[in-house]
Structure 1
Amino acid sequence: MMNPIVKSIVLSDGRTITLETGKLAKQADGAVTLRTGNTVLLATVCAAKDATPGTDFMPLQVEYREKFASSGRFPGGFMKREGKPSDYEVLTSRLIDRALRPLFPDDYHADVFVNVILFSADGEDMPDALAGLAASAALAVSDIPFNGPISEVRVARIDGKLIVNPTFSQLKQADLDIMVGATLDNIMMVEGEMNEVSEAEMLEAIKFAHEEIKKQCQAQIELTEEVGKTVKRKYCHEENDEELRKQVWSNCYQKAYDVAASQNPNKHERMDAFEAIQESFLETIPEEERDEKAPLVARYYHEVEKEAMRRCILDEGKRLDGRTTTEIRPIWCEVDALPSPHGSAIFTRGETQSLTTVTLGTKLDEKIIDDALVHGTDRFLLHYNFPPFSTGEARPQRGTGRREIGHGNLANRALKKVIPDNYPYVIRVVSDILESNGSSSMATVCAGTLALMDAGVKIKKPVAGIAMGLISENKGQKYAILSDILGDEDHLGDMDFKVCGTKDGITATQMDIKVDGLSYEILEKALAQAKIGREHIMGKMLETISEPRAD
């Protein structure tokens, strides 16, 4: 006997979103059907009963897919069947993943699969803005441990007015378009593009989004109570040896702190020094116990290394490579780096390097878009490649990964705003990352600007990008904002905040926050510090080429 439970959410403009559970996909751990107008999404979540032995991370897989039948269309190609995910589906999956992933308990390592499927669409409501809410609601009605709920909304500014979850037609008129993911209390994720808006205007849009998200989170809390899933499943995915943990801390912390404080700018030498500390500790363990205890030692030593790096920055203001918190790494640029492409540039910042080319084409080179809801052509393409040799890894290079699609999309959004209106050529920008130690997507933006000017594209204004980081404790009572972060500062820090823009305003942004209690005051300071860094980087770029070449 079916007994569906329905919850309604009223948006500020009067539109209604309904969440229904107990009718479809009942064998999943959690399943919710979301409806608004004629748009219908089904979100399901399933988690393994236990973790795979040896897993020490969160194995979360998010899949967002759109059925062509949702809009009464056939898929293209000979097979007439949905195939691999489109870039749009991959990007939507990433938006959901980035908001959910930080909220699973640190010691929870079971495989979790989140699937969100678009079954019906009216061509007006944008389903990507609803997918995060649907995914979180499915977790809310399950017994899977999760420190949510979250929701995501899109905010657009049209004629100076902020609108939540605009339609496809409304979005075409917007000068600001951001997606925000948040819990009841904290912003978790921001991504978007805008027409050179100020830092204050972007913050206003984020705050507006959060007010809408709070209502959606509250509805999910009530749904959890009605379904009777307030108590989550018990689990034990980590075995601990407290005596061994103490030994690792007492033996390794000071040594790790000394390496962090040595301020060696060479990433590989620094990594070798950190690894040597772990190896020397392992040698103190009797050989017959070493293999058994090695995974625990690795986990405890990672905690030691993280704390040493964070304390070094918070207490002494010392970053791993010797810079101050506001300092940008040394930059060198070169244009016309390759003889045959229409435009080319090298942008190097510290140990991060992008070689970018620009190719100009005709109408025949337009990209044809044939997605379930969006069909048309694209005249500005940007592709980002991240080969393993860029970080010195010895592994094969497979197809384009989700991360590469996401980073390429961010750089695309940053640069497309400055392409001349009605430009007669199709443009393809390709960024190959040759070295990486943090901020490679921002290097792509900078190298892309240089290569476009080298190709003679009359861009409206040059664009530069910077990645900001944060180290904080006690819910932001003590913190350090870092300009131009290293890979380790991203991995071991509390925030990754990328900001791209011209001298007059922001054109694109992407933010991921991994900590509770980040105040708008800290965000405001991070944006102000990012602007100063962006202007410094722009100055270095314009020393190389100050304006587009003549045709």
Structure 2
Amino acid sequence: MDRHTEVFEIPNSAPIELSFGHVARQADGAVWIQQGGTIVLCTVCANDKQVDTDFVPLTVDYRENFASSGRIPGGFFKRDGRPNESEILTSRLIDRSLRPFFPKGWRYETQLIAILESYDPDYPPDVLAGLGLSAALALSSVPVEQVVAMARVIRREGAFFLNFPTEIAESAELNLVVSGTLDSIVMVEGEMREVPESVLVEALRHAHGMIQDLVRFLERLQATYGKPKRQLEVPPSYPEVQAFIDRQVGDELRRLVRQSLPKAERKAAFEQAFQRVSEALALENPDWALPEVQKAAAAYFAQLKRQVLREAVLSEGVRLDGRQPQDIRPITCEVGILPRTHGSALFTRGETQALATVTLGTKEDEQIIDYATQRGSKKFLLQYNFPPFSTGEVKPLRAPSRREVGHSHLAERALRQVLPTEGDFADYTIRVVSDILESNGSSSMATVCAGALALMDAGVPIKAPVAGIAMGLIWESPERYAVLTDILGDEDALGDMDFKVAGTEKGLTACQMDIKIQHMPYEVLEKALLQAREARLFILEKMRAALPAPRPEISPYAPRVYRIPIPFDLIGAVIGTGGKVIQEIQRTTGTTVTIEQDEKGGVAIIYAQNKDALEKAASIIREIISEPELGQIYSAKVKLLKEAGAIVEFMRGKEGFLHISEIVPHRVEKIEDVLQVGQELLVKYVGIDARTGKYRVSHKAAVNGGDSSAGSAASRPSQPRSGRPPRSRPSSSRPPHRRHP
């Protein structure tokens, strides 16, 4: 067993080590990649027989073993189960980076698997998994066209960091994962804190420098240790069939792409054109009716369709729906259309439409995160749904697809940057749901726009509205290309770039880019970002026209929230034994109360459906944490009888000692003669016992000032007045006036 290890040094960070030849030896390619204490096993396998499909049959699976963190999975079965959201997102990152470099005729089922075997929190595994799978491909017999590498670039306090420990990413203003080849960037995804476009371009240049070094490193591995590459079976070509199709429908397709038809009509027209040419082929030559020829004819037709669409844009600047390259489809924005939701918005851009809703919840509504690499909770959730009717199709409703998970994450990143981090809204759990009602390109960016409007409609004081736009590219050469604004679905499929950009008026908050060409100059990227900014500002104006700012009041159906500081030593009093006190507060007031604490103390966070319930719960908690006033009279209840006196509760959560001599003016032989458990009486707070440190109260001092002339009355302790007497409260005794009713 030959074990080979190669090391890639990273300045001021742990090196990346690649070992192979000693693990997973039945796989076509296998790499053990390590940085710090993080280790990922990456494997490649491809079948020997081709499958009948018109796409590359590639599957990328990334998994995290709980054992990698020294943990046992939760749940009944205690087994690593279906992929979680983090694993799906990492799988998509790697898939989007590597898929474009499989040969177009590759029809062998191929599976790339990356398994996290050891996890060091200082070194994230996602980039290592992508780099390891690219290395495994390079060492395997799968004939990928180019070697790809992946890197993470972070900008913090104006400085850029590449593949640095996790702690550097904390408080970063830019965090991107970038994939590329020696010649070009091919995939970008990440989030930013309203940074200008120039910072994004600078970050990509920094990342590409390391990517180029990593590609050279992997190419040396491939040249030294790689297997011979498979010879791709070239399918038979039919030039006569191709020429016949061009003669039969070439001019018709050229007219179709200039007729500005709606999506459904255009799709039907293309299908009818192919149906006619397919029948004409069979009539022209019986051999052309054979399945293999018809399959080739479908590919030729799709190729011709792509050519005429691209030529119309490059030569005349005419797009499928009649727009010029920089034009945006008509936009309409509506807010508050669902009366019982906490916030809602309908955003329509051409034939793409997103309906977003916002729900405000309590801390108990936070999503619990329990992954091998992450533990905690999440209080901002965005979920993107893509029902089949949005494209006029009939499909079963299943669990969210990988695409839906990916689009949810992108839109969530875009909006997360503008959420309030201080004040009452920092205590809310916020859930945004976007249902795509109609789709013809850029539905994820429509989700960003609809989500921002719905947040403002819900009264969430976001820092600034966020808009998103999808940019495309038709590329022939550096001298002949077109950058497209607000691309359609067909322009995405037939073009050379899908670049989703989201941000505020100030700067970018998230982006996602996939490039399908071998090389894209940075000048083209800068042009795309400039066009995207102009489009974003235009969309923001449309959104402001519908709703200029967040509503001053939240929905009457949304919970109110209020915070009360609690001293450390009184947190237990508010919670009570086994949570008894806090549960009683919630039960009697109909509120939800949570307790948080840090190094400064504790805080009670109250969520209520109305102001009265909020104030009632706040009043109870204040009473528990407030100190009694010397000389003040309180209504008390006897909790326990002792030989020397009684324990009485005279404020919520506060008990005092009523000495037997302080009950009535005359001598009492047995306390049971004058008091019973559960009995209510008035007491006067007279101070703290110097010896025991407990509160002392007096009944006889509360009744007629403790005068002995009240003996006959005092022998039967007087009943308390209805309600407790007023007493001074701190200045914050009532919640401040909120914006809501």
TM-score (norm 2): 0.73
Aligned ranges 1:316-327 → 2 under 5 Å: 316-327=316-327
Deviation readout 1:214-237 (Å, 9 max, x if unpaired): 1111111111111143x4111216
Which residue of structure 2 aligns with residue 226 of structure 1? 224
Q: Are 1:29 and 2:28 matched, yes or no?
A: yes
Which residue of structure 2 aligns with residue 243 of structure 1? 240
Deviation readout 1:318-355 (Å, 9 max, x if unpaired): 00000111110001111011111100000000000001
Aligned ranges 1:268-347 → 2 under 5 Å: 268-286=264-282, 289=287, 290=289, 292=291, 293-347=293-347
Higher Cα Rg, which structure: 2
- How far the C-alpha of 1:212 sits from its partner, in A, is 0.6
Deviation readout 1:254-296 (Å, 9 max, x if unpaired): 22111112222x1111111111211111111236653523222
Which of 139, 149, 152 does residue 154 from structure 1 map onto? 152
Q: SS at 2:152's partner residue?
A: strand
Q: Is the 8 A contact 2:34 2:128 kept in 1?
A: no
Which residue of structure 2 aligns with residue 124 of structure 1? 122
Q: Is the 8 A contact 1:132 1:150 kept in 2?
A: no
Which residue of structure 2 aligns with residue 180 of structure 1? 178
- How far the C-alpha of 1:62 sits from its partner, in A, is 0.2
Which of 483, 489, 492 does residue 491 from structure 2 map onto? 489
- How far the C-alpha of 1:28 sits from its partner, in A, is 0.4
AA in 1 matched with 2:515: I
- How far the C-alpha of 1:244 sits from its partner, in A, is 1.3
- How far the C-alpha of 1:14 sits from its partner, in A, is 4.5
- How far the C-alpha of 1:248 sits from its partner, in A, is 1.7
AA in 2 matched with 1:502: T
Which of 479, 482, 487 does residue 480 from structure 1 map onto? 482
AA in 2 matched with 1:32: V
Q: Which segment drifts farther, 394-403 or 310-319? A: 394-403
- How far the C-alpha of 1:249 sits from its partner, in A, is 2.4
1:13 and 1:318 mapped to 2: Cα distance? 51
Q: Are 1:89 and 2:87 matched, yes or no?
A: yes
Q: Is the 8 A contact 1:48 1:110 kept in 2?
A: yes
- How far the C-alpha of 1:432 sits from its partner, in A, is 0.1
- How far the C-alpha of 1:55 sits from its partner, in A, is 1.3
Q: Is the 8 A contact 1:263 1:318 kept in 2?
A: no
Which of 194, 202, 208 does residue 192 from structure 2 map onto? 194
Q: SS at 1:113's partner residue?
A: strand
Q: Are 1:144 and 2:142 matched, yes or no?
A: yes
Q: SS at 1:27's partner residue?
A: coil
Which residue of structure 2 aligns with residue 499 of structure 1? 501
Unaligned runs of 5+ in 2: 554-741
Deviation readout 1:156-194 (Å, 9 max, x if unpaired): 111111011232222112110000000111111000000
Q: SS at 1:174's partner residue?
A: coil
2:327 and 2:215 mapped to 1: Cα distance? 39
Q: Are 1:524 and 2:526 matched, yes or no?
A: yes
AA in 2 matched with 1:190: V
- How far the C-alpha of 1:148 sits from its partner, in A, is 2.1
Which of 466, 470, 483 does residue 467 from structure 1 map onto? 470
1:489 and 1:11 mapped to 2: Cα distance? 40
Which residue of structure 2 aligns with residue 537 of structure 1? 539
Q: SS at 1:34's partner residue?
A: strand
Deviation readout 1:25-64 (Å, 9 max, x if unpaired): 0110000110111111110000111211x21210110000
2:436 and 2:378 mapped to 1: Cα distance? 24
Which residue of structure 2 aligns with residue 447 of structure 1? 450
2:235 and 2:246 mapped to 1: Cα distance? 18
Q: Is the 8 A contact 2:148 2:215 kept in 1?
A: yes
Q: Are 1:57 and 2:59 matched, yes or no?
A: no
Which of 501, 507, 510 does residue 508 from structure 1 map onto? 510
Q: Are 1:73 and 2:76 matched, yes or no?
A: no
2:102 and 2:127 mapped to 1: Cα distance? 22
1:441 and 1:406 mapped to 2: Cα distance? 9
Q: Are 1:3 and 2:2 matched, yes or no?
A: yes
Q: Are 1:260 and 2:257 matched, yes or no?
A: yes
AA in 1 matched with 2:349: R
Report % sequence identity: 50
Q: SS at 1:341's partner residue?
A: coil
Deviation readout 1:56-91 (Å, 9 max, x if unpaired): 210110000011111101111111111110100000
AA in 1 matched with 2:188: V
Q: Is the 8 A contact 1:126 1:166 kept in 2?
A: no
Which residue of structure 2 aligns with residue 112 of structure 1? 110
Which residue of structure 2 aligns with residue 421 of structure 1? 421
Aligned ranges 1:352-367 → 2 under 5 Å: 352-367=352-367
2:201 and 2:183 mapped to 1: Cα distance? 16
2:204 and 2:337 mapped to 1: Cα distance? 40
1:234 and 1:497 mapped to 2: Cα distance? 34
AA in 2 matched with 1:11: I
Q: Is the 8 A contact 2:328 2:485 kept in 1?
A: yes
Q: Are 1:432 and 2:431 matched, yes or no?
A: no
Which residue of structure 1 aligns with residue 408 of structure 2? 408
Which residue of structure 2 aligns with residue 41 of structure 1? 40
- How far the C-alpha of 1:373 sits from its partner, in A, is 1.1
Deviation readout 1:353-404 (Å, 9 max, x if unpaired): 0011000000110000001011111000000000010000122221100000
Aligned ranges 1:383-398 → 2 under 5 Å: 383-398=383-398
Q: Is the 8 A contact 2:140 2:226 kept in 1?
A: no
AA in 2 matched with 1:488: D
1:24 and 1:3 mapped to 2: Cα distance? 10
1:27 and 1:483 mapped to 2: Cα distance? 47
Q: Which segment drifts farther, 163-172 or 342-351? A: 163-172
Q: Is the 8 A contact 1:51 1:237 kept in 2?
A: no
1:80 and 1:465 mapped to 2: Cα distance? 41
Q: SS at 2:67's partner residue?
A: helix
Q: Is the 8 A contact 1:50 1:235 kept in 2?
A: no
Which residue of structure 1 aligns with residue 654 of structure 2? none
Q: Which segment drifts farther, 253-262 or 305-314? A: 253-262
Task: Give the aligned length.
Answer: 546
Deviation readout 1:418-458 (Å, 9 max, x if unpaired): 11013121000000000000000000000001000000000
2:83 and 2:235 mapped to 1: Cα distance? 34
Which residue of structure 1 aligns with residue 682 of structure 2? none
Q: Is the 8 A contact 1:32 1:44 kept in 2?
A: yes
Q: SS at 1:49's partner residue?
A: strand
Unaligned runs of 5+ in 1: none
Aligned ranges 1:203-222 → 2 under 5 Å: 203-222=201-220
1:501 and 1:36 mapped to 2: Cα distance? 33
